[in-house]
Structure 1
Amino acid sequence: MDFRDPAPFPFRAPPGVPLDDAVRVGDPGDLAAGLPQLLGYRPSESVVLVALGGGTGRRVGLTVRADLPPPGYARELAAVLARSLATDGPRAALAFVVSEAPDEPELLRPDAAGPAGGCGTDLPHRSLVHDLVLALDAVGLPLEQALLVRAERWWDFDCPGACCAPDGGTPLPTGVGALEAAAVASGTVVAADRGALHERLAPPGEAARAAMEAVVLRVGLEGPVGRSAARRRIRSAVGRCRPGRDGERPVDEEVARIAWSLRQPDVRDWALMLSLGEDAAAAEALWTECTRRAPSPLDAFPAALVAVCSWLRGDGAMANIALDRALDSEPGNPLAGLLEDALSACVAPWQLRALLAEAGRSAGVTGLPGAPAR
């Protein structure tokens, strides 16, 4: 497949954009420039694999990313990434190496054909691309194209032209691209880096934590409330977290009562279904607030719910960060454990949505959407 073909390229929408709203991109530079929208943050020193599938074999599916490996671990990392990508059932893959590393002497290339000693320079991380080709081939996937993204430019590792010579490169598109426009329209905020995603769940300062712990203790001593009362409280809080509202923050007592109520399996299972409906974004905002402010282990279930909401909207980075928070807080948390198994098996968002909807219908939950088409 030649990405210089002017035919538009249909993408799976970025996190927060409905999957059936295809975004069309016709240039490899647009893909490279759109990586922050695909990942939810701006990657650095990373390797990214993107699955290609669908009826035409040109629809973006699962996207997996890892830090660039230290020496000696490239082959192992490539195998892990390839196996993960293969769980999406794609037809082929794309690879992006995002790195500011300088060019390498040709002598360092594992496939160098020149005489010993070599001459000139080559793009960095070519050996990693070689390992990716072998790992993808082992799972039956061709690597359609591999790009280096560096210093606001991109190179095709297989292009022999001057445009992709080490001292060349093509500038990344400027202005608002199709993926960025779709993300903005959906209200998705791209983080500056992965660390900024962690900050979204960071606990408040020491004084606020102490005050919250006192409220949590007092509410906990009162004992559990009934299921109906807990649901009403959660629905009220979700309603105030909807996009476009003033964004009134729940007070400490409300956070404490919601966090305690999520320890009740019937309330938690009902709350999980909120991630499937029209209030999914508002529910995620509430679970995020509860995760930030509830002390351990009461933050575990809200964090697991954040992970579910994030994965369902395609934000794997945020899902894994929230899942780590839940498991660190309460290693035996049942919801976090189930989700960890699902993410380890690379269960696609559409598959998880279908599983949750079926479980909800079996439990008698009404008003659930049908399973979306893949």
Structure 2
Amino acid sequence: MTSTLHGVGETIAYLPYSFGFVPAESVVLVGLHSKRVQVTARLDIPDPEDVEDAARQLVEPLWQRPMDDSMLIGYSSDDCSPQPLTDRLLVLLPQAGVPVSHVLEVRDGRWRATACSCGGCSRSWQPIPEASELAPVAEQVMRGVAPASRRADLVRQLQVHRPVVAGAIASTIASGRRCNDPVELAAAFARVLLDDRQPVARLPITVLADVTAAVATIDVRDHLLSWLMPDFMPPSEWLAQWPQLREVLGPPPRSGDLARVDDDEATRRADRAACIRGRLIEWLQCAPAGRSVPILLLLVGLEWAGGGGALANVAVERALEIEPDNRLAGLMSHALARGLRPTVREEPRSA
């Protein structure tokens, strides 16, 4: 289903659900084509000497992208003004073929237009509409999106919170334990990813060690990715090789096929995706940091396939911090930075 955002106020209210966190001290570009949202990109407000580099970083991926309108939204504070970056973007964006119809400022739950080509936007402060009243927000909530108050909160979610459990997992793997039985291993992945009756950190250490060691192998990781993002990696080519995993995991939680299933099935898959997201985060919080990259990439795949760009970006950045030369993380980072999507997803329209 495609919903409509009516005006710039509703667009601002929707953005935290698009990014996964509430923007602050930053500039956001919303790019439109035929009144459909094509790009949402955010940059922290840089130091004055870095404005030029920051502006070019935002604009560079937009060359030759089909956009016929855009909005620039600056999130200001007492200590931080978006104007130097906004002014530079107003020069560079038209050069990249991106016209800018609105320049907006957001502060303390209010917004105003500082430039407006439609002539209907208020230059005085207006309250941001209640997000709960917007249909596109309801769709995101159904996908399990709940924006964090700050991007830093997303980063902290993906760090080790259970060092004792992480140490026990590392010791068990170091002892040479390996589970090679496909039935037992498939059941272990189902317990970690789908069975939310027990927190991940309270599962038996042997179960956590088995899945943490197994997902480090490329075949196992890619089997799971083919389930999490089937429009990018068709599951028939992977899960058929591991029928036990296909049987215990069930249908993919993310898929362009959702447009062709009934509402009850779409809701079940959205609930499953939200459950898996939470379980992957719990797994990361109790896994040894040095073994977390494959888990991070599973989270990237799930979020990227569902349009959760903020969490996907944070997860891939974390993966590259740990393994700078990881080729799949680099590929995902490249695709995310350029706004590429692994699946068809309907974005809200702007009225």
Q: TM-score under structure 2 normalisation?
A: 0.76
Contact 1:87 1:347 in 2 (8 A): no
SS state at 2:41 partner? strand
Q: Which residue matches 1:31?
A: 11
Alignment partner of 1:41 out of 7, 18, 21: 21
RMSD value, Cα:
2.9
CA apart distance, 1:65: 0.6
Contact 2:165 2:287 in 1 (8 A): no
SS state at 2:48 partner? coil
Which letter does structure 2 place at the counterpart of 1:240?
D
CA apart distance, 1:130: 2.4
> 2:226 & 2:121 partners in 1: Cα distance?
51
Q: Which residue matches 2:100?
A: 143
> 2:227 & 2:103 partners in 1: Cα distance?
39
> 2:198 & 2:67 partners in 1: Cα distance?
40
Alignment partner of 1:197 out of 151, 154, 158: 154
SS state at 1:97 partner? strand
- Could you list the per-position Cα deviations for residues 280-334 of structure 1 after superposition, in whole angstroms to 9, with x for gaps in the alignment? 4444334323322221321111111112222222222211211122222233333
Which letter does structure 2 place at the counterpart of 1:330?
E
In structure 2, the CA distance between the partners of 1:342 and 1:126, relative to structure 1 (3 Å rule), is: closer
Specify every segment of 5 or more residues in structure 1 that has no aligned partner in the other structure, as ranges: 1-20, 104-123, 354-370
In structure 2, the CA distance between the partners of 1:290 and 1:125, relative to structure 1 (3 Å rule), is: closer
Q: Which residue matches 1:251?
A: 204
CA apart distance, 1:175: 6.4
Alignment partner of 1:235 out of 190, 206, 222: 190
Which letter does structure 1 place at the counterpart of 2:223?
W
Q: TM-score under structure 1 normalisation?
A: 0.72
CA apart distance, 1:154: 1.3
SS state at 2:288 partner? coil
CA apart distance, 1:36: 1.1
SS state at 1:69 partner? coil
Which letter does structure 1 place at the counterpart of 2:77?
E
Contact 1:155 1:163 in 2 (8 A): yes
CA apart distance, 1:76: 2.4
> Quick check: which one's helix share is greater?
2
CA apart distance, 1:83: 2.1
CA apart distance, 1:159: 4.7
Contact 1:42 1:191 in 2 (8 A): yes
In structure 2, the CA distance between the partners of 1:211 and 1:229, relative to structure 1 (3 Å rule), is: closer
Q: Which residue matches 1:68?
A: 45
By relative contact order (CA 8 Å, sep 6+), the higher-ranking structure is: 2
Query: How many pairs align?
Result: 303
SS state at 1:240 partner? coil
- State how 1:2-21 maps to structure 2 within 5 Å: 21=1
SS state at 1:176 partner? helix
Contact 2:62 2:96 in 1 (8 A): no
Q: Are 2:215 and 1:262 equivalent residues in the alignment?
A: yes
CA apart distance, 1:93: 1.7
